[in-house]
Amino acid sequence: MARCLKLLLVSTPVGPLGSGLGGGVELTVVNLLTALTQRGHQVAIAAPESSHINSHINSHINGTQLIQIPGTLQPTAQTQGRDTPATMVDNAVLANQWNYAHRVQHSYDLIVNFAYDWLPLYLTSFFDVPIAHFISMGSLSWVMDRAISQVHDKFPGTLGAYTQTQVDTFPPGLTWQLLSSAIDLSQYDYCQTPGPELVWLGRISPEKGLEDAVAAAQRTQTPLKILGKLENPAYWDNIQRTYPNAPMEYLGFVNTQQLQATVRRCQGLLMTPRWVEAFGNVAIEALACGVPVVAYRRGGPAEIIDHGKTGWLVEPDSVDGLVASIQQLATINRYHCRQQAETEYSLPALGQRFENWFETIIENR
Ligand code: HBI
């Protein structure tokens, strides 16, 4: 095992840990904390104030520092356009996080950036301690593409991402460390005999394409449970008006324990991303419960789902394709879904991948 590393994880500035505003990257930060701590590393996290890590994890992780940084949350990058300039709001938590990181940097062997923002990329040259940049989405703006390319040129090997399809959205010629993702399998209980319900998980926001899942539920008259942060109320209102008699139920944003208790009893998860989903953590959460996934063949889910074995990959934006696959769900052996999660998406595997990446960055410094 490599030596014990002292690591500072700087979380996304769009929301406190545990708020759901940070979507999949929140799960990545919390799971990485567990995986690295279990490997004997010392981990601290600097996150927007009001962050919390659910008690299950806190209980067996001592010595973890969760540093609450005050300030104004960062506007989300996926709601802006490609020409969006880098944004710096007044009293930005992003700036306060990196001011803190700069001040304490010499207490750490490595700093890990989880913000999809210009500032930490730009600041890298002004730090003595190396910074690993985990890029959590595909290409969204020229400003970020350029900042990512510049960090790559000055500090090769320090760019990390989830999947190849995500990396393919960025300018060519960059080398990336592909880290995939993982979940704490001990928090997900396998279910062999589901009810008739379908489930949709994620931030309720246009890039997630919820309306297609609702349309498919209405067409098949299959009840659809919806879970996730209600990020865009106007978008949700519009879906409700467009599909007034769809058999759907919005259950809010819940913690992992409550989420898996609902998901495991469903016959299938629907994933309807409009954008190139960098990974799609909700897919492996469902697989861990034995729930097959019907997903558009787009982005991360296309690399996760074993078509016909652990779910179905559908022509992107085709509600007909969703409907046809929903009718095939019963032919999937649910235990194969759990097995795939165990072999490919366990926490120890994630911890090993990140530790290898960190060691390489530190050695090359
Ligand atoms: N937008 N500006 C910005 N910064 C982030 O770190 C960020 C974001 N939008 C979404 C997001 N992070 C996460 O929800 C995804 O990376 C998963």
pLDDT at 54 over 80: no
Look at residue 170 and tell me if it is in a domain.
yes
pLDDT at 44 over 60: yes
**98 CB contacts (<8 Å, ≥6 apart)?**
10, 119, 120, 123
* Percent of the chain residues past pLDDT 90, beyond the cut: 93
Say what the pLDDT of residue 59 is: 47
**Which residue owns the Cα nearest ligand 1 atom 11?**
22
Whether 12 and 160 share a structural domain:
yes
**232 CB contacts (<8 Å, ≥6 apart)?**
204, 205, 206
Q: Is the CB of 276 under 6 A from ligand 1?
A: no
Q: Is the CB of 12 under 6 A from ligand 1?
A: yes
Q: What angle do CA 225, 284, 137 make, to 5 degrees?
A: 95
Whether 104 and 124 share a structural domain:
yes
Whether 140 and 211 share a structural domain:
no
Specify the number of domains making up the chain.
Answer: 2
pLDDT at 240 over 70: yes
Whether 113 and 125 share a structural domain:
yes
C-alpha 76 to ligand 1 mean position (Å): 6
Q: What is the CATH number of the domain that holds 125?
A: 3.40.50.2000
Task: Looking at the CA of residue 87, tell me the nearest atom of ligand 1.
Answer: 2
Continuous H helices in the chain:
23-38, 55-60, 93-104, 118-123, 142-154, 164-167, 210-220, 233-242, 256-263, 281-288, 300-304, 319-326, 334-344, 347-364
Say what the pLDDT of residue 315 is: 98
Look at residue 1 and tell me if it is in a domain.
no
- pTM here is 0.90
Whether 276 and 356 share a structural domain:
no
| Residue 144 domain boundaries | 6-182+346-364
> pLDDT tens for residues 57-96?
554 455 679 999 999 999 999 888 899 999 999 999 999 9
Spatial separation of the C-alpha atoms in residues 59 and 57, rounded to whole Å: 5
> pLDDT tens for residues 161-186?
999 999 999 999 999 999 999 999 99
Whether 198 and 59 share a structural domain:
no
Task: Looking at the CA of residue 137, tell me the nearest atom of ligand 1.
Answer: 16
Say what the pLDDT of residue 95 is: 98
Whether 25 and 158 share a structural domain:
yes
Whether 39 and 175 share a structural domain:
yes
Spatial separation of the C-alpha atoms in residues 156 and 149, rounded to whole Å: 10
Say what the pLDDT of residue 182 is: 96
> pLDDT tens for residues 333-364?
999 999 999 999 999 999 999 999 999 999 99
Q: Is the CB of 136 under 6 A from ligand 1?
A: yes
Mean pLDDT of the chain: 95
Q: What is the mean pLDDT of residues 194-221?
A: 96
Q: What are phi and psi of 252, to 5 degrees?
A: 85, -170
> pLDDT tens for residues 119-166?
999 999 999 999 999 999 999 999 999 999 999 999 999 999 999 999
Q: Which of 349, 348, 184 is nearest to 281 (CA)?
A: 184
**Which residue owns the Cα nearest ligand 1 atom 8?**
76
Whether 190 and 332 share a structural domain:
yes
Whether 35 and 94 share a structural domain:
yes
C-alpha 151 to ligand 1 mean position (Å): 19
> pLDDT tens for residues 104-115?
999 999 999 999
Whether 340 and 272 share a structural domain:
yes
> What DSSP line would sit under 11-25, residue for residue?
--TTS-TTSSTTHHH
Look at residue 321 and tell me if it is in a domain.
yes
DSSP H or E stretch at residue 140 = none
